Amino acid sequence: MDYFKGKTAVVTGAGGTLCSAIAVDLARKGARVVLIGRTEEKLKAVKNVIDDFGGESMIAACDVTDEKRMCEIAKKIGERFGPCKFLVNGAGGNNGKVMTTNKCFEQGELELDNSTEFKGFFNIDMNAFEDVLKINTIGSVIPSRIFGRQMAQNGGGSIINFASMNSYCPLTKVPAYAMSKSAVMALTKWLAAYLAPAGIRVNAIAPGFFANERSEKFLGTPETGLSPRGQSVIDHTPMERFGKADDLLGTAEWLLNDEKSAFVSGITVPVDGGFLTRSGV
């Protein structure tokens, strides 16, 4: 517990279900937590939770792909809390505009244009496709550059990136997300090797299927009923449930803590209820 006390942790995507839980947990452990995300209202809600138990935090509403703005935030963080010691790159996501309706090619999609509701590979929105690639890849690169510099100047630190089950094998219907999350795993390995001389460890967490607003939309819930895709996920998950945000906390703490994982760098840890163990055959 005392390991995190008084040290600065930056969490991007801190307004989301998973990273808000990590941010609150780090604050409970005594870290000074910086909450970064696009939506200030969501960040304020997380800060209120931290305030209620006397934790230290500050919010910074920002698009993590805006390098100039992120540099400004980093300067303010350094002045108020001191240099970043821990970075959780949780900002990211998908876009329904680049999710295909079908799992594989159908001849009829050749006749469709971008205005139709049916989305195949040949008529998805390429601007949205690029946006997904940008937030999931550049959205990890820029914070790693800015806060990694602070770590390198001050004796080291630890970075966690957010990968996915798509990092291991692309799931159907999500080409941009699969492509970008594979890149996150590669980036994690590259940064781990590059930053090792600076005393910076870089690892990633690959969540399986977790319950949140987005998952409910596409997968449903056991309580309200699962979609066919949701049922397929459960059938492929030996633990037969979706993950909860708290399921990530132990892994995040372990990877950030030099006293517990000092010789661990460049790995991606699946937290998936066993999803990767079942081939589906």
- Tokens representing 115? 């205005």
CB-facing half-sphere around the CA of 79: CA atoms within 13 A:
6
CA–CA dist 198, 168 (Å, integer): 28
Residue 158, beta-bridge partner list: 86, 201
Residue from 3, 168, 177, 194 carrying the catalytic annotation: 177
168 has catalytic annotation? no
- Tokens representing 40? 């200030």
Tokens 């876009």 correspond to what residue?
Answer: 95
- Tokens representing 128? 């949205």
Would you name the residues annotated as active-site residues?
177
